[in-house]
Structure 1
Amino acid sequence: MAYILPNLSPTLLLPKDNKLSTIILPLPSVSFFAVSTQTKLEPPPPRGVAQVNRTSGSQDKKEDQRNDFYVNLGLAVRTLREDLPSIFAKDLNYEIYRDDITFKDPLNTFTGIEKYKLVFWALRFHGRILFRDISFDILRVWQPSENMILIRWNLRGIPRVPWEAKGEFQGTSRYKLDRNGKIYEHKVDNFAFNFPQQLKPAASVLDLVTACPASPNPTFLWGPVDAQSSSWVEFYRAIIVTLDRESLVIPQDCLATCS
């Protein structure tokens, strides 16, 4: 019987009493039209919903910025690993640095990407002139904090003059990164030296440091400059003189030769 009832006419379900039949009336069509019209209208969104959307948009922006930082950080580490061992053979990839990058060593400070490029040009140019063989090796790469990259390196060279023995020394390069993952500071410090005892080189900029066992922290002090010279100190002085010449214009063919 249950499946038959929906198909029955409403008039058949009414009692035979005429009084009751007059009381039960179908809803007017106007009411149905009014209800259907109201259901189509949507009220404006409350203020709370709009505020939540703005907050989520700000969070998405911060998340995108963090993602960009880690992408650029990974690119910086990978580029440094690839570029530094060949600094005496070819130029660097400068996309990982900011235009206002600052370069510091224990005696000097230079600012600007053009000066920074000149540092590595001078390394290649004067390194080939003063040394028969010179190389740069990476010993360790690590991050003491999220926005800093530390690289422990070793520099070896054989001077062209026959009375000087080959020598090597280590140092630390500290690269600081901004919130976008770009390098804005490069600081060189923490020098340690290893020269043959039988042929100790003449006093040089390298000898201005009190040698201690290599460590990631700057533990070496600079003393007064000695007047004597060697290939190492001439190498350092040549780089500084090159950087101090503000009006220096390097010929393009020389750049091509040393790049």
Structure 2
Amino acid sequence: MAQRLLAPVPPSPALTFRHLAQQRSMSTASPSHLVHQHPTRSSCHHMLDILSDSCGMSMVERDSLGMWGLSRLSVTLEQEQSMRQKQDFYLNYGRALRVIREDIPRFFKQAPDTSILADNVTFVDNIGPRIGLGASAVEGKKAYSQHMWLLRFHSSLIFSRCEVSIQRVWERDSRTVVVRWSLRCFPRILDNVMGTMVNLDGLSEYHFNDAGFVQMHKVDVINWDDARKKKPAGQQLFRSLSTAGC
């Protein structure tokens, strides 16, 4: 009787089948395969597995849902990046407009703010060719600053005072701003060659890049005194004015 009670209880068929299935899966799957497989699965894939198990989705439906989620996430990131770029553009663009309005009237008194310029900014002079002189262009922040300094230095030798006033500011397109300005210069030497005062109306055209910085700065003249520029002293005067960066 005691021997019968101590005899082992035979396992049920269901437990035996489950145990054999586990042993078979462990024997067929190598450790390298398991280590390689599980770390590559992201939390997104695990969430898809849980969702598919709870909702009874097929593998095709789960893969379709995963691709849709990833594409949706990619579109959202692109939209956020585009919105951030637009915000940066308008912030830099608005600041540049404020700096331009402040720098032009005081151009001959202090150096312009170059923080609104792109590193490879280009300055183009269109005044020289209109008055019979050669065209000039410089590229880069350093060359731009040197060019403006030379203009202020030469102007201080020829004129006792220079005044610049803004007449109008408008947008030619979404990335181009045009400023019309008037220049009045009082020469140090008063004679019949140079006259008592020089008046010049011109345009400054600012082209902006994608980041909202000035990529190109062009200057052009609207009107000038033809009689003055034909005389030798007048030619020297307008040679200095032909590089006007205001």
CA apart distance, 1:123? 2.1
Q: Out of 88, 96, 114, which is 2:142 matched to?
A: 114
Q: Out of 109, 128, 134, which is 1:89 matched to?
A: 109
The amino acid across from 1:132 in the alignment is S
Please, which moves more after superposition, 59-68 or 104-113? 104-113
Q: Is the 8 A contact 2:229 2:238 kept in 1?
A: no
Which has a greater percent of helix?
2
CA apart distance, 1:81? 0.3
Q: Deviations over 1:62-121 (max 9, x none)?
A: 111111111111011001001111011111111110111111112211111111101211
Alignment of 1:41-56 (within 5 A): 41-43=50-52, 46-56=66-76
Q: Deviations over 1:104-156 (max 9, x none)?
A: 11221111111110121112211111111111111111101001010001111
Distance 1:84 1:147 in 2: 19
The amino acid across from 2:240 in the alignment is F
* Structure 1 unmatched runs, 5+: 1-39, 205-227, 241-259
Q: Confirm whether residue 229 of structure 1 aligns to residue 233 of structure 2.
A: yes
Matching residue of 2:13: none
TM-score normalised over the length of structure 1: 0.61
Alignment of 1:52-131 (within 5 A): 52-106=72-126, 107-131=135-159
Count of residues in correspondence between the two structures: 173
CA apart distance, 1:233? 2.9
Distance 1:100 1:116 in 2: 10
Q: Is the 8 A contact 2:207 2:214 kept in 1?
A: yes
* Structure 2 unmatched runs, 5+: 1-48, 53-61, 127-134
Q: Out of 176, 201, 212, which is 2:207 matched to?
A: 176
Q: 1:126 to 1:144 in 2, by over 3 A?
A: same
Give the aligned CA root-mean-square deviation in angstroms: 2.3
Does the residue aligned with 1:88 lie in a helix, a strand or coil? coil
Matching residue of 1:32: none
Matching residue of 2:175: 147
Distance 2:66 2:187 in 1: 78
Q: Is the 8 A contact 2:209 2:215 kept in 1?
A: yes
Does the residue aligned with 2:228 lie in a helix, a strand or coil? coil
Q: Confirm whether residue 157 of structure 1 aligns to residue 185 of structure 2.
A: yes
Distance 2:239 2:75 in 1: 59
Distance 1:85 1:118 in 2: 19
Q: In percent, how many aligned pairs have the same letter?
A: 26
CA apart distance, 1:202? 4.9
Does the residue aligned with 2:224 lie in a helix, a strand or coil? strand
Distance 1:94 1:190 in 2: 23
Does the residue aligned with 1:189 lie in a helix, a strand or coil? strand
The amino acid across from 2:228 in the alignment is P
Q: Where do 4+ consecutive residues of structure 1 move more than 6 Å?
A: none
Matching residue of 2:42: none
